[in-house]
Amino acid sequence: MSRVVVLGSGIAGHTAASFVRRWLPRADTVTVVSPVDRYNWVPSNIWVGVGLMQPH
């Protein structure tokens, strides 16, 4: 059994974890480590900044 740890839950980390989860057998684990407790879709930050989207 393998244990995969992905550091960072940005676009790259999210994509890597999604693909690895699909490729590995169910018995293997995939853990994403993030320094924050929320997911931030970076390209949308600009819309929050100009008041066209709420942070949540």
User: What does the binding site for ligand FAD look like in residue numbers (CB under 6 A)?
Assistant: 7-13, 33-36, 42-43, 45-46
For tokens 């590995």, name the residue.
24
Q: Smallest distance from the beta carbon of 32 to ligand FAD, in angstroms?
A: 9
Nearer to ligand FAD, 46 or 53 (CB): 46
Cα gap 21→16, rounded to integer Å: 8
Based on CB atoms, which residue is closest to ligand FAD, 26 or 37?
Answer: 37
Q: How far is the CB of 24 from ligand FAD (least distance, A)?
A: 20
DSSP symbol at 30: E
- The two three-digit tokens of residue 17, written as one number: 């974890």
**Residue 35: strand, helix, or coil:** coil
